[in-house]
Structure 1
Amino acid sequence: MPRNLSSYMIQTTPQCPDRCHCAWDTFTVVCSDAGLREIPERIPPETDLYLSDNRIDSLSTGALRNLGPKLPKTRLFHNPWHCDCTLQELMETLNLEAETVNEIICKSSVRGVGEGSRWEDPGSQGEHAGQPLAKLLDSGVNFCSLQRKTTDVAMLVTMFVWFFMVIVYVVYYVRQNQAEARRHLEYLKSLPSPRKTPTETDTLSTGF
């Protein structure tokens, strides 16, 4: 029995995650075909973990770190993996077996510039869909670079739209003020001219 797992089991009795089957005598947790969307919690360290045939498309930071510095056998195949910068960085930092890494096939991938949003066209899942993540990384594909470029373009488009809206508002505001000024001027012109009030001198002069 591994030393870390022995200490863990002495301190507390492991609780099997929901929808999983656990065999603590062989240090195995089987969560295959359980409809999971994320890695179960409360997995003891140095445990073989089977997660195949689920709906997991990404791994959160630290999702597998509680299994120990050297990860045991972990099965991740037949999941709809979305290959992006987060998954790439995790694969580069986690000490996974080569067989486990090769099991991660991209169901979809982060879009490059001009490919549109991940959710715009469900039928189009990115140019790297259907390819092993390890093979893509070995060939020089950098999802973090693609993601940054896409983010930069999105920011530029957002800034352009914002600037355009400001210009439209300023033009509208100026025209509204000009129209209001013209209406006010026309109103003043339409008022009758005030009659001249006779002064006392005029009254006296008309009396002689």
Structure 2
Amino acid sequence: EGAVRQKRPLSLSCGLLFGLFIASTPVMACPSSCHCIEKSGMTVVQCMSRNLEKIPSDLPRDTVVLLLASNHITHIPNHAFSELHYLQEVDLSNNDIETVDVGAFHGVSDSLLFLDLSNNNIQSVPKEAFARLRAKISLSNNPWHCECTLQEVLRELRLDPETVNEVICHTAVQEEYAGKLLIQVLDSGINFCNFHHKTTDVAMFVTMFGWFTMVIAYVIYYVRHNQEDARRHLEYLKSLPSSSQISKDFDTISTVL
């Protein structure tokens, strides 16, 4: 009995140590290129200025704040954050981002509160890329091409009011709006979609006119070619001996025989 009594405290101590070890083990390790800290019950993943060329794929599942500013990221792929169900803030400013996939923010549309895409190389985004996002978004200091799709995207977004005056049309479907603040252009009543429809109608008209011209040209060529064949056939028929001459020659041959 004494031996048994001595073993119980030892097994209990081992259980407590094992429990403490499990409790201190993170759900997912921090990426080697980042620094993870817990602040006020939130996991903050700090990956700023780490020369990253893409978004890390092994981010902790309980990430709430993700700081990826000042790297060399060029692309936000589909489902880049779909496993981060608690994600509230993403800072991707001062990167080299050029493209944003349609499903880039799939899975975080309900949780995300702030998204910073300022100071990148984004010219346009798919209309569905920011669909259902409720986050406040900064799009300032990008070389935006102002056209119908961008206008439709902005209708659904909550632009950061502090940076909205830094969204400039680098280029535009109508050259006179290049270099102007996008918000001023839209407030003036300009509708890039109307211009887009007009351009599409003109292009369709030009295409139809081109096809019509080709059909007419083909018909004219076909008629002229047939006329030429008919003329040659007629000349050939004229060059043949007439039936009366053939009959006379046949009679002459018969008489001789």
TM-score normalised by structure 2 residue count? 0.58
Counterparts of 2:192 and 2:116 in 1: how far apart (Å)? 26
- Residue 238 of structure 2 is matched in structure 1 by 189
- Residue 120 of structure 2 is matched in structure 1 by 54
| More strand by percentage | 2
Conserved? CA contact 1:29–1:47, under 8 Å: no
Among 103, 120, 139, the alignment partner of 2:166 is 103
How many positions carry a matched residue from both structures?
A: 175
Conserved? CA contact 2:147–2:192, under 8 Å: yes
**Rg larger for:** 2
Distance 1:145 1:18, change over 3 A: same
Counterparts of 2:93 and 2:160 in 1: how far apart (Å)? 19
SS at match of 2:220: helix
Aligned 1:103-182 pairs, distance under 5 A = 103-111=166-174, 126-182=175-231
**Considering only aligned residues, what root-mean-square deviation do their CA atoms show, in Å?**
3.4
TM-score normalised by structure 1 residue count? 0.70
Distance 1:98 1:105, change over 3 A: same
Q: Shift of the alpha carbon at 1:47?
A: 5.1
- Residue 40 of structure 2 is matched in structure 1 by none
1:39 aligns with 2:100: yes
Residue type of the alignment partner of 2:54: R
More displaced 10-residue stretch of structure 1: 38-47 or 76-85:
38-47
Distance 1:12 1:99, change over 3 A: farther
- Residue 83 of structure 1 is matched in structure 2 by 146
Conserved? CA contact 1:27–1:48, under 8 Å: no
Conserved? CA contact 1:91–1:101, under 8 Å: no
Q: Shift of the alpha carbon at 1:157?
A: 1.4
Q: Shift of the alpha carbon at 1:98?
A: 2.5
Counterparts of 1:13 and 1:85 in 2: how far apart (Å)? 43
Conserved? CA contact 2:68–2:93, under 8 Å: no
Residue type of the alignment partner of 2:170: K
SS at match of 2:129: coil
Residue type of the alignment partner of 1:198: D
Counterparts of 1:14 and 1:60 in 2: how far apart (Å)? 32
- Residue 129 of structure 2 is matched in structure 1 by 63
SS at match of 1:82: strand
Counterparts of 1:37 and 1:25 in 2: how far apart (Å)? 25
Residue type of the alignment partner of 1:135: Q
Conserved? CA contact 1:75–1:103, under 8 Å: no
- Residue 19 of structure 1 is matched in structure 2 by 54
Distance 1:147 1:56, change over 3 A: same
Distance 1:12 1:85, change over 3 A: farther
Conserved? CA contact 1:58–1:87, under 8 Å: yes
Conserved? CA contact 2:138–2:163, under 8 Å: yes
Conserved? CA contact 2:138–2:164, under 8 Å: no
Distance 1:165 1:75, change over 3 A: same
Runs of 4+ residues deviating >3 angstroms: 11-29, 42-45
SS at match of 1:107: strand
- Residue 44 of structure 2 is matched in structure 1 by none
Structure possessing the higher relative contact order (Cα contacts under 8 Å, 6 or more residues apart): 1
Conserved? CA contact 2:173–2:192, under 8 Å: yes
Q: Shift of the alpha carbon at 1:48?
A: 3.5
